[in-house]
């Protein structure tokens, strides 16, 4: 069965979707079979992997969660052969409200993924940047959580809050959930960034990945071309950083 990891942060703009796309793509390029689940109603992982017409896509994750469409029927190809996508679009906005009335609503995604999980080595879930019922579904479905943290002043404050959320989910909904790792993103060579990385490493030790993702123009541009960074700008420092992260993740299983 594929190892399921939720990529999460309750704050937006911290490299969460960029990490979901590029980590999944780099592992797939290395020969792993990978599924990326776009659980964010913004659908940025979907457009970032070449499906810019996301509002025209049928079926999507919304249909899988609420219309009993098998997940296997909604999978899309991506620019990387071994990487499949379970897409999302603006329809997913209404899922939070509609899920409330369903039995075992926190486990809906987990049950849906049983249809396809066995086909993959890795399953990554790109969670919304909020503590919504969709995010809870992502955390309940996962074995591990990968947290992305921007190298900025309030990083530790947001990290403490998210770790509290993970503990709550583990205590009440998913006892097997663990912290997969913490990834420092948008790093610049400033004193503040160095201090933030030092503080997070001191706080969490080996749970922090050795790889640090730099702030890089190519990482920002690649989604508009529907490609992961290693296909858009293979020599960029951003692409090289995610290749290094994929090797680190693969080494740890």
pLDDT digits (tens, 9 = 90+) for 117-134: 999 999 999 999 888 899
Average pLDDT over residues 72-83: 97
Q: Is 70 exceeded by the pLDDT of residue 253?
A: no
pLDDT digits (tens, 9 = 90+) for 137-169: 999 999 999 999 998 887 777 788 889 999 999
pLDDT digits (tens, 9 = 90+) for 50-68: 999 988 999 999 999 999 9
Mode of pairing for the β-strands spanning 83-86 and 76-77 = antiparallel
With beta carbons less than 8 A apart as the criterion, state whether 184 and 197 touch.
Answer: yes
215 DSSP assignment? P
Instruction: List beta partners, residue 176.
Output: none
Nearest residue to 49 via CA among 253, 233, 179, 226: 226
Q: How confident is the model at residue 12 (pLDDT cuts 50, 70, 90)?
A: confident
| H or E, element range at 147 | strand 144-150
pTM exceeding the 0.75 threshold for the entire prediction: yes
pLDDT digits (tens, 9 = 90+) for 237-248: 999 999 999 999
Average pLDDT over residues 198-226: 95
pLDDT in the model for residue 161: 83
Cis peptide before 246 (omega within 30 of 0): no
Q: Which residue has better confidence, 158 or 74?
A: 74
In whole angstroms, give the CA distance from residue 183 to residue 241.
Answer: 11
pLDDT digits (tens, 9 = 90+) for 173-198: 999 999 999 999 999 999 999 999 99
Q: Is 70 exceeded by the pLDDT of residue 48?
A: yes
CA distances from 149 to 13, 93, 231 (A): 10, 25, 24
Nearest residue to 27 via CA among 54, 61, 60, 2: 2
CA distances from 78 to 25, 69, 231 (A): 9, 21, 12
In whole angstroms, give the CA distance from residue 238 to residue 219.
Answer: 6
In whole angstroms, give the CA distance from residue 124 to residue 2.
Answer: 10
């Amino acid at each position: 069965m594929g190892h399921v990891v939720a990529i999460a942060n309750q704050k937006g703009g911290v490299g969460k979707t960029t990490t979901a796309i590029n980590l999944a793509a780099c592992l797939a390029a290395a020969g792993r079979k990978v599924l990326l689940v776009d659980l964010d109603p913004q659908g940025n992982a979907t457009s970032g992997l070449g499906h810019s017409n996301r509002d025209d896509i049928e079926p999507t994750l919304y249909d899988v969660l609420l219309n009993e469409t098998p997940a296997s029927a909604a999978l899309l190809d991506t620019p990387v052969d071994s990487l499949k996508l379970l897409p999302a679009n603006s329809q997913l906005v209404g899922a939070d409200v509609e899920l409330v009335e369903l039995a075992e609503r926190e486990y809906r995604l987990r049950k849906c993924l049983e249809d396809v999980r066995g086909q993959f080595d890795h399953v990554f879930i790109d969670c919304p940047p909020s503590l919504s019922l969709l995010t809870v579904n992502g955390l309940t479905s996962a074995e591990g959580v990968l947290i992305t943290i921007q190298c900025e002043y309030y990083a530790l404050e947001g990290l403490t809050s998210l770790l509290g959320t993970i503990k709550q989910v583990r205590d009440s909904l998913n006892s097997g959930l663990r912290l997969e790792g913490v990834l420092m993103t948008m790093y610049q060579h400033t004193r503040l960034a160095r201090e933030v990385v030092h503080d997070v490493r001191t706080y969490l030790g080996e749970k922090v990945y050795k790889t640090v993702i730099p702030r890089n123009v190519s990482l920002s541009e690649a989604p508009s071309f529907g490609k992961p960074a290693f296909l858009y700008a293979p020599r960029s420092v951003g692409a090289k950083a995610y290749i290094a992260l994929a090797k680190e993740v693969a080494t740890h299983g």
